[in-house]
Amino acid sequence: MRSSFRIPLWLMSAILSVIFCTPSAAFGAEKYYYLHISSFRAEKRAVQDVERLRNKGYNAVAKREQVSNMGYWYRVYIGPFSSLKEARLKRSELRSQRLVDYVAIHKEESLIPTGLEKPPEKEERKVPIEVERAAPELAFPQELAPPVPEKHVEFIPVPERPLEEAKEVPAPPKPPVKIAAPPPEKKRELAPTGRGRNMGRGDFSLGLRHISREVEPELTRRTLITSDGTTTTTEDVPLASVGKDDFPTEMHMNSLRLRFGLNDYLEVFAEIGGAYQELSDSSLAYGAGLRLNLFQVRGGRFGGLYGGLQGEYLAGTLEYEYNSSAGNRWRKEADWEEFVFKGELGVARPKFAYYIGVAYLDYREDTERHLLENLPPPATSYVLQDDLEEGSLGAFGGVAFNLTPAVLVNIEGQIVNQKGIFATLEYHF
């Protein structure tokens, strides 16, 4: 016996309605991004925080939410934002304005209602109204009941109105509905920063850095290597006959510099580029370091005052030709590295920052100098191997300008242990 299974028509219609008529299931719900600013137990404090942010030009709202194992809290948000990038830019702006201490990005599936949720009003107690009862009618015996006089109703005809005279009375015009526009968003006034001159948490920048410097290391060892093609001779040269301070190193360095904020107080950076004395002889140079903000005064007479520490490592090679004071032509090939430790004190303002500090430089250089002409006979090669070192304290100072909300220029000068100018052009993402 053959049996067939058929889906009822009503059941098929219900399934198709669920599939094609539910936008959230078919296409996905739209997402909104909000910045979580603060949380309060008391509704009054949440209202005050919302008013504070709105007076600054931000679209702030508050919402009563239940927190796991902590009961109900009033959370203050700023938003909505249509993209994560826009939310991050606004987060950086709030930090730079020093308006908030805590900012977190939340993703919501629906808009957060503007205004606090008010507790339901108590229903007014309804007082029962006594209805006046009609007096009971007295029943008379039919034979004793007084006769009811009949009333004569006169019918007055109403003349019919012609159809052409009947006009519709126009309804009164409705007043235009005014939609309150949200408060305009305040434009950013400076590049995103954390504490002092540090990057903010999660922010990064890419910049071009140029260094023009002169280091004066001391000669600690010199070895002379000569060769006549068959025999090679190596001997140490007495430093007394040479002099220790006659070998300064001049160089320029161009590099790409990346900075990233681990948090508002700690920043890492790295750079890579080329060191040269002439652009035709550029050689590899690279470095990295850490920057730590120790403190910052938030307000009052000394508002913006900060202190920080920085440690940086740089290394590279350097090759160029030069003429000595004796008129000989030499080619210099050097491998150099340095550690720099800085202590900085400055003032950070909305548009700029200026600072001063002390730096300790630990510089090392391994150099070979090849004599290119006027070789002493019978030498076919004449090479000097030098070890140079420098370790001393110096001073530095600089200023940083915010040309636009995303473009920063930093100029710094150093003296004593090295003479140099450091210039950086950065773009903050």
- Which residue, of 54, 74, 108, is where some domain finishes? 108
From 23-27, 147-151, 159-163, the region with the lowest mean pLDDT: 23-27
What's the rounded mean pLDDT across residues 67-93? 86
Confidence of residue 70 (pLDDT cuts 50, 70, 90): confident
| Structural domain span for residue 67 | 26-108
Total number of domains constituting the chain = 2
pLDDT tens column, 113-134? 765 544 444 444 444 444 445 4
Judged against a pLDDT cut of 90, whether residue 398 lies above it is answered with yes
> pLDDT tens digits, residue range 292-341?
999 999 878 888 899 999 999 999 999 988 888 778 899 999 999 999 99
Mean pLDDT of the chain: 79
Q: Give pLDDT tens digits for 174-204.
A: 566 454 555 555 444 444 467 889 988 888 8
pLDDT of residue 7: 59
For residue 72, being part of any structural domain is answered with: yes
**Whether residues 211 and 70 fall in one domain:** no
Segment 216-269, tens digit of pLDDT: 899 999 999 999 888 888 988 888 777 666 678 889 999 999 999 999 899 999
Predicted confidence at residue 309, as pLDDT, reads: 96
370 within some domain = yes
In a domain? residue 313: yes
Q: Is residue 335 part of a domain?
A: yes
264, 192 Cβ separation under 8 angstroms: no
Clarify whether residues 92 and 224 are in a common domain: no
For the residues 79-102, what does the mean pLDDT come to? 85
Name the range with the highest mean pLDDT among 145-154, 196-205, 255-264, 417-426: 255-264
Model pLDDT, residue 25: 41
- Are 91 and 211 within one domain? no
Looking at 52, 74, 108, the residue that finishes a domain is: 108
pLDDT of residue 132: 46
Task: Identify the CATH number of the domain in which residue 418 sits.
Answer: 2.40.160.20
Residue 146 lies in a domain: no
| The model's pTM | 0.57
- Is pLDDT of 11 > 50? yes
Q: Determine the average pLDDT of the residues in 343-364.
A: 93
- Is residue 403's pLDDT more than 60? yes
How much is the pLDDT for 21? 46
